[in-house]
Amino acid sequence: MRRSRALILIVIALLTTLMPVSAAAAESNFLHAGFREILPNFQFVEDTQVMYEWQDFHEWDWQRVDTEPAQFGYTESAYWFLFTLEGDPDIISDAWVRVNYPLLDYLEFYLIDSNNTLISKYSLGDRYPFDQRIVKHPAFLIPLEDVSGDVTVLFRVRTESSLELPLAVISDHQLWSSMESTSWLQGLFFGAVLILGVYHILIFSTSGDRGYLYFGGLAAAMALIQATIWGRAYEFFWPNSPEWNHVAIAALVNFSNFFGVLYVTKVANIQHTYPRIYIISIGISVVAGFMAICSLFLPYRLMIFPTLSLSLIIFCIGSIILFLRMRDRYPPAFAVFFAAAMYTLGSAAYILGKLEILPNSTLLENALAFGLLLQVMLFAFALSIRIGMERQLREEAQIETAHAKDMLLETERQQNIHLDKVVRSRTKQLEEVNERLQKISATDALTGLYNRRYFDESLKREYARAARNKTPLSVMMIDLDHFKSINDNYGHVFGDEALRQTALRMQDVLKRPGDAAFRYGGEEYVILLPDTNTSAARIIAKQIWSAMRSSQIFHDDQSETITVSIGIATVVPSPNGDPNKLLREADHKLYRAKEEGRDRICV
């Protein structure tokens, strides 16, 4: 069991890293820096009959939202919300409206200008397929890029879950920065809980001890519950199953109740010490399993309160079992008691926040996750104690026979070898996942090319390599001609398609493994050509220039020929040279190409 305890210590270390940053990632501030002056108020009105139409919003009796985030608990009413953005159009058009609560069923957004004319309408919610979202992210995101002046943001929310609204108006930079930070932190949390569950299920496959199976099922269910609350399960596991996502919480809670009862009865070892309580516990686990199946077919609103009630009953039964076994001075019971206490406190704080009994906060928003991780680790510790006790009893029973002891040690040795292989295999898989995540962080989401941050790293690396090998290094800066006019005439969707198709044509031209294209920013690209002199770089630039002129950009029923301006700089680097000087030289050549009339190559 030393390996099991070592794994728990590793997860504890991960928790100490996760907790402070996770709290920051879960912020729900309505106003971010730069918007406090342009967002004067936030109001709501309750639509009890779900009959209001947005055109009549001036006639409604609006009330000011006084809590942050806005909370209304479980309700059958629709709620309308309104706020006005006033200020610098450039700041507003670079902003996003974000509702960071993934469990809301329906959200309908209306962007209205100062003349009460509808600019845009968006329909979001977890009752729609995930792929229909504007941005593939658990939070609901609305862009303000089409806004050219003051705008009123009006939206309606309907949901069977607890209605709360962690609303934020943030800049484009803040949005993508927060998305990157929360993604890997939530993945780390989910992976830590899931690894513990999978690890113990694998032990069950070799040992046959059902305690490992119950713990593995419980950990997996809890991990999926938290992933569903965060919206990550809908994003990665069932993005095209909104109906399943709608009932997932109730079903997963019942599955966790099912495995939780079996786990406690197994670890507390009450089958022979308290047979009547054992029979009652098994009966409750059957009820939890039946409710888990019912949750797959019955409405969420019908199942959630019976599910929470059953959870309370299971808590009471489990408490009785643990108090009885602690009275018997049975060591695993103490560990399970503290584990249940951690999760119970976290769950209670989270649920009381949803029911508006306690004021919501960052701590309450993450209480369930922190309590869950602590509970899972302590459950694993309790299981290791119980297994350790049973092993000690076996060894004491077999100590009189040396042959039996040798066989037991050999069995344990083989089991450890097998577990080492399993752990190495899982470690390799985690390393592969980390590599994929690093690749994602280095890739521009729109074009699929490497992003500017990765280019900065690549330029330094290739410049140093060229300096060591005394070989030429070329940098090519490329800019789409008159791109602003293209966006103005054809729209941003066509502009985005032009950026993507331009990236594809550049990739078609680059044949050598070392050559790489990057999106530098906006409509600018940069190509890094190791071991390439000026003549060779000019040939490659000519191919890209020709590829853009030879065929039009197509999207839907729109098409346009787009030309490019290209600047090329080449150098054989010196060991103490400045790679940024090479980049500036390429940028200078690009500027000269545009000054000379665009649609040309300047070397």
Contacts of 253 (CB under 8 A, 6+ apart): 221, 225, 307, 308, 311
What 3-state class would DSSP assign to 150? coil
Residues of the chain predicted below pLDDT 50: 1-30, 33-38
User: Cβ distance 210 to 390 under 8 Å?
Assistant: no
Question: Which element (helix H / strand E) includes 180?
Answer: helix 172-207
Dihedral pair phi/psi, residue 221, rounded to 5°: -65, -45
Looking at residue 9, its pLDDT comes to 38
pLDDT for residue 10 = 37
Is 475 in a helix, a strand, or coil?
Answer: strand
Question: Which pLDDT score, from 0 to 100, does residue 29 have?
Answer: 40
Question: Residue 341 in 3-state DSSP?
Answer: helix
Q: How far apart are alpha carbons 109 and 99 in whole angstroms?
A: 11
378, 335 contact by CB (below 8 A):
yes
164: left (phi over 0), alpha (psi -120 to 50) or beta: beta
pLDDT of residue 361: 58
Per-residue pLDDT, 39:
54
- Give the Å distances, CA to CA, from 395 to 186, 391, 418, 505: 42, 6, 21, 70
311, 287 contact by CB (below 8 A): no
The predicted pLDDT at position 545 comes to 93
Distance CA 413, CA 152 (A): 69
Q: Please report where in the chains the tokens 């992210």 appear, as a residue.
A: 137
CA distance 394 to 541: 76
Judge whether 601 and 566 are in contact, CB under 8 Å: yes
User: Is residue 470 classed exposed, middle or buried when 0-12, 13-18 and 19+ CB atoms within 10 A define those classes?
Assistant: exposed
DSSP labels, 228-294? HHHTHHHHHT-TT-HHHHHHHHHHHHHHHHHHHHHHHHHHHT-TTTSHHHHHHHHHHHHHHHHHHHH
φ and ψ at 182, to 5 degrees?
-70, -30
**Measured distance CA(57)–CA(259) in Å, rounded:** 49
Q: What is the pLDDT of residue 340?
A: 64
Q: What pTM value is reported for the model?
A: 0.53
C-alpha–C-alpha distance, residues 411 and 430, integer Å: 28
Q: Are 297 and 282 in contact (CB under 8 A)?
A: no
Looking at residue 163, its pLDDT comes to 87
Report pLDDT for 155: 92
How many helices (H) and strands (E) the chain has is answered by 16, 18
| Beta-strand pair 601-602/564-571 | parallel
Residue 317 CB neighbour total at 10 angstroms: 17
